[in-house]
Amino acid sequence: AARKKNSLNLLELTEAELEEQFVRGDGPGGQATNKTNNCVVLKHIPSGIVVKCHQTRSVEKNRKIAREILQEKVDLFYKGEDSDVFKEKKASEKQKQEKKRRAKENLEKKKLFKEMQQLDKE
């Protein structure tokens, strides 16, 4: 997920608040997945939020990604609608709806144009 981390004003997490485990991942991947403990399970003790990350084969990358995801979830948990994460999601949702509306509008215009061409031919 492409996120603008620098622009977000998220709550800081301390290592003392986190509980980290390394487990075997699940899903496709065969032996590479079944024999290595590179899936990171991160728990934020005060809020009880748990994040599981197995996006890459690298434990270090998974640890970093899990912390970023957890930080966003904790920020959303404590700040609610005032959270930058929430505002970003809402803005992206609004953009998506606007794009859909424009596409539908264009489709209607094309249909109308084709109907007009058919009438001109007759």
**pLDDT tops 80 at residue 91:** yes
pLDDT 10s digits, 79-90? 888 878 888 889
Residue ranges covered by each domain of the chain: 15-80, 83-121
Q: By the 8 A CB rule, do 68 and 85 touch?
A: no
Whether the pTM exceeds 0.85: the reply is no
Q: CATH: 3.30.160.20, 3.40.50.300, 3.40.50.280, 3.90.470.20. Which one for 15-80?
A: 3.30.160.20
Residue type, 60: E
DSSP string across 5-59: TTT--PPP--GGGEEEEEE---SS-THHHHS---EEEEEETTTTEEEEE-SSS-H
